[in-house]
Structure 1
Amino acid sequence: MRLKLVRDDTTIDFFKRARLWLGISLVMMAVAFVSFAIQGLNYGIDFQGGTSIRTQSEVPVDVAAYRDALAPLELGDLSIAEVFDPTFAENEHVAMVRIQAQEGDERIASETIEQIQTALRTVDPGMEFPSISSVGPKVSGELINTAILAVALAVGAILAYIWLRFEWQFAVGAVLALLHDVLLTIGIFSELQIKFDLAIIAALLTIVGYSINDTVIVFDRVRENLRKYKKKDLKEVLNLSINETLSRTLMTSGTTLLALVALFVLGGDVIRGFVFAMIWGVIIGTYSSIFVASALLLVLGVKRDWSKKDPAAGTRYGHLDT
């Protein structure tokens, strides 16, 4: 017996309240933009600068115990992560302690480092500190610029790909939906003031890939149906296409969310920000694939010549299919 989340004969009218969905998206984007403009992002150590201290111990790493030991020092933003490597010996336990720059200084004072080492040795008196390195504000600024460039290049490459595979209306609709997803993800991090670091940039790029995959599945079915139903109104073709791919969309999103929720609950503090971004991104990406991208395509329209009997009618680049 095959599990079906959506019946084969489903005929939901996704455009009955298209203006409402687009209005909700515009309001959420405006809130995200205002939040970012007023309070900005709560940048982590990667973007603020700070010091990384590598610890090595024969005692298994206990992140909570490390945090409790360092809490009295009031060091501000603190990140502790266990380092795993198959080359480590069985009794070799390594962690990376990252501390934000103190009052704009590039390096933490030597006295402060000594206090940190003393505090951590209360957890394990035999703890060693193989390396200590600092990231200054200049390097952090370069990381921000590189992160922005990475997201921009990813979106630009997707725009070119969709334009070649379909038509420019599909490309514009898909990219605007992607920008919608990215802006809302950044907005919720700004609104909730969750730490924003390089892991979140990785999550943003993953969200872009996930969202465009969903959108391309829908658009591919739209193109097929444009060829198949040449006399149907574009709105009807879009509705039909979304309904036909709805089961696949919900199944993919649902199974992905199951894994992400498990990671969010059981994965610990180290990856919680990344996983939260992914959960939000999957939800928003699914929403935008169904309601935003298709609604934008309906607004932009797709040029079709009804007089032609060419099976590729409805797409300029149908011959590129494999």
Structure 2
Amino acid sequence: MRLKLVPSETKWDFFKYVSATFGASMLAMVVSVVLFFTVGLNFGIDFLGGTTIRTESTNAVDVGAYRQALTPLDLGDVSITEVFDATFEEDQNVSQIRIQQQEGHEAVTPETIQAMEAALRSVDPDITFPSVESVGPKVSGELVQTAILAVVLAIAAVLFYIWLRFEWQFSVGAVVALIHDITLTIGIFCLLQIRFDLTIIAALLTIVGYSLNDTVVVFDRVRENLRRYKKLDLKQVLNLSINETLSRTVMTSVTTLIALVSMYVLGGDVIRGFVFAMIWGIIVGTYSSVFVAAPVLLRLGVKRDWSKPSQGGGTQFANVDA
């Protein structure tokens, strides 16, 4: 007996409340943009420059004592946070200390780091320093430019690919869905102030690929059904196509989420931001394939007199469930 998360045949009307769902998506994008310019992202050392020191001790972390010990060193903006994780041992107490870029230096000097370590050892003799990471201002500036360029080029490549594979209306729908996914992901990071570093850029690029894959499967079935059901209008064809690929979409998303949730709970705080971005991206990516890309295609319309026969590309596994 096979597990089915949705029935084999569904006849749900995904466009019944299209004005509300699409309007909510556009509103969420506007809110995300406003959050970006007002609250801003909590950039990591990768993008700001500076030094991050990770401490570990068998004694409890005393943020106030740590800060008091570092104050005489005159390091400027120092952020001290205690790190919690379900995978830590009972006597494993971890903190993360972030120091702003020091004026006149590419990174915090080894002498300053040694002075910090000595100051913290005066508070807690058992403290250790598993990792010290430094990024200079020039490198961090280049990383910001490279990250933005990577995301823009990925979206441009998607636009070109969909334009070649389908009609231009399909490519516009797919790119609007991708921009929706990335914008909402950046918005949730602004809202929750989760650290935004290079691993999150990797997550954004992965989200682009995942969302595109889901959208292409739906669009392939739409193109196929446009040829098969010539008397149905575009809205009916879109509804039929989404229903036909729904089992595959839900199964793929749920199984991927199971793995990601396990990583989020058990993987440790180092990768938690990346995994959170992936979980959020899969949720909004699945949503946008149905409630953003399809309504855009419906709005733009598409011609139905293709001379080339459908090859069925990308739809051979559309009805597969488990």
TM-score of the alignment, normalized to the shorter chain, above 0.5: yes
1:36 and 1:296 mapped to 2: Cα distance? 25
SS at match of 1:268: coil
> Matched residues, percent identical?
59
Note closer, same or farther for the CA distance 1:136–1:72 as it changes in structure 2 (3 Å cut). Answer: farther
SS at match of 2:274: helix
1:203 and 1:66 mapped to 2: Cα distance? 35
For 2:29, the equivalent position in structure 1 comes to 29
2:233 and 2:144 mapped to 1: Cα distance? 46
What do residues 77-126 of structure 1 show as CA deviations (whole Å, max 9, x unaligned)?
Answer: 6799xxxxxxxxxxxxxxxx87442566643255541134334794478x
For 1:101, the equivalent position in structure 2 comes to 100
Q: In structure 1, what residue type is equivalent to 2:79?
A: G
Note closer, same or farther for the CA distance 1:137–1:77 as it changes in structure 2 (3 Å cut). Answer: farther
For 1:258, the equivalent position in structure 2 comes to 258
Note closer, same or farther for the CA distance 1:232–1:128 as it changes in structure 2 (3 Å cut). Answer: closer
1:68 and 1:30 mapped to 2: Cα distance? 40
What do residues 61-85 of structure 1 show as CA deviations (whole Å, max 9, x unaligned)?
Answer: x8575993887433416799xxxxx
SS at match of 1:76: strand
8 A Cα contact 1:44 1:77, kept in partner: no
Note closer, same or farther for the CA distance 1:100–1:230 as it changes in structure 2 (3 Å cut). Answer: farther
What do residues 283-314 of structure 1 show as CA deviations (whole Å, max 9, x unaligned)?
Answer: 00010011111111100111123xx8x463xx
SS at match of 1:134: strand
8 A Cα contact 2:177 2:293, kept in partner: yes
Give the superposition deviation at 1:260.
1.2
Pairing 1:303-322 to 2, within 5 Å after superposition:
303-305=303-305, 310=307, 312=309
Q: In structure 2, what residue type is equivalent to 1:73?
A: Y
Q: In structure 2, what residue type is equivalent to 1:296?
A: V
Give the superposition deviation at 1:133.
6.5
For 1:241, the equivalent position in structure 2 comes to 241
Determine whether 1:183 maps to 2:183. yes
For 1:275, the equivalent position in structure 2 comes to 275
Note closer, same or farther for the CA distance 1:256–1:65 as it changes in structure 2 (3 Å cut). Answer: farther
Give the superposition deviation at 1:128.
9.3
Determine whether 1:76 maps to 2:75. no
Moved more, 134-143 or 20-29: 134-143
What do residues 9-43 of structure 1 show as CA deviations (whole Å, max 9, x unaligned)?
Answer: 21000011111111000110111011111121110
Q: In structure 1, what residue type is equivalent to 2:100?
A: A
Q: In structure 2, what residue type is equivalent to 1:101?
A: Q
CA-atom RMSD in angstroms: 3.0
Note closer, same or farther for the CA distance 1:160–1:214 as it changes in structure 2 (3 Å cut). Answer: same
Q: In structure 2, what residue type is equivalent to 1:181?
A: D
2:37 and 2:197 mapped to 1: Cα distance? 18
Instruction: Count residues with an aligned counterpart.
Output: 289
8 A Cα contact 1:203 1:274, kept in partner: yes
1:208 and 1:321 mapped to 2: Cα distance? 20
1:67 and 1:271 mapped to 2: Cα distance? 23
Pairing 1:138-287 to 2, within 5 Å after superposition:
138-287=138-287
8 A Cα contact 2:61 2:82, kept in partner: no
Give the superposition deviation at 1:321.
5.1
SS at match of 1:243: helix
Determine whether 1:47 maps to 2:47. yes
8 A Cα contact 1:165 1:320, kept in partner: no
Q: In structure 2, what residue type is equivalent to 1:265?
A: V
Q: In structure 2, what residue type is equivalent to 1:11?
A: K
For 2:10, the equivalent position in structure 1 comes to 10
Note closer, same or farther for the CA distance 1:222–1:209 as it changes in structure 2 (3 Å cut). Answer: same
Note closer, same or farther for the CA distance 1:181–1:217 as it changes in structure 2 (3 Å cut). Answer: same
Q: In structure 2, what residue type is equivalent to 1:68?
A: V
Note closer, same or farther for the CA distance 1:245–1:77 as it changes in structure 2 (3 Å cut). Answer: farther
Moved more, 2-11 or 71-80: 71-80
1:66 and 1:141 mapped to 2: Cα distance? 38
2:264 and 2:142 mapped to 1: Cα distance? 30
SS at match of 1:214: helix
1:282 and 1:128 mapped to 2: Cα distance? 33
1:12 and 1:266 mapped to 2: Cα distance? 37
